[in-house]
Amino acid sequence: MNPEPDEAAIRRILSGERQAFGKLYDRYKDSVYRYCLRLVADDATAQDAMQNTFVKALESIATLDSPRAFRFWLFRIARNEVYAHFRRVKSNGQVPIDQHAEEVWDAPTPLELTSSKELVLLVQWAMERLKVEYREVLVLREYEQLSYLEIAAVMGDSESSVKSRIFKARKALTTILEPYMK
């Protein structure tokens, strides 16, 4: 059975079926949570930001111009929640260290496990060094697999600005990581 498209769920919500919002919540809660967590580096704060995102989305869904843009609109609300958190606590936006390693068919050797974990930690350490606006574009592009146009919609910025930030962020990561990759 194919899942209900966002547009159909939104039409149902707007016609008074508020419980249809549960389908959208189930569809996007994990990706919104991951996005928030990678930016705020704290599970409880990410959970709060995710929950606030969905509360605000439900309260203001009637203001959504295009139901097809729901995903980007939702990420924009999440972005606003994260930045509101930064403004409230004047945080430097450290990214959490994700301990989940990619699973493989064969059991890795202890050396491979150690090397893999060190590389993940090293990349995450390097990501922490980036300003949040550069880290954010990489998170949206590499972790959430959004296109440049979609990232621009989330950030309320131009596609060329997004491309420029991604280029600068990748270049900065390369510069930071280069001494460790030799």
pLDDT in tens for each of the 182 residues of the chain? 567 788 999 999 999 988 899 999 999 999 999 999 989 888 999 999 999 999 999 999 999 988 889 999 999 999 999 999 988 876 444 444 344 444 544 456 655 666 677 877 888 888 888 898 899 999 999 888 899 999 999 999 999 999 999 999 999 998 988 887 76
Half-sphere exposure of 28 (CA within 13 A, CB side): 24
Sorted by sequence, the CB contacts under 8 Å of residue 13 that are 6+ apart come out as 20, 21, 24, 58, 61
Condensed to tens digits (0 to 9), the pLDDT of residues 33-61 reads: 999 998 988 899 999 999 999 999 999 99
Q: Which CATH number is associated with domain 1-96?
A: 1.10.1740.10
Residue spans of the domains in the chain: they are 1-96, 98-182
Confidence (pLDDT) at 93: 43
Q: What is the per-residue pLDDT for 113?
A: 60
Please state whether the predicted TM-score (pTM) of the whole model is above 0.85: no
Instruction: Return the CATH class of domain 98-182.
Output: mainly alpha
Cα–Cα dist 101/117, whole Å: 7
| Cα 112 from Cα 117, distance rounded (Å) | 8
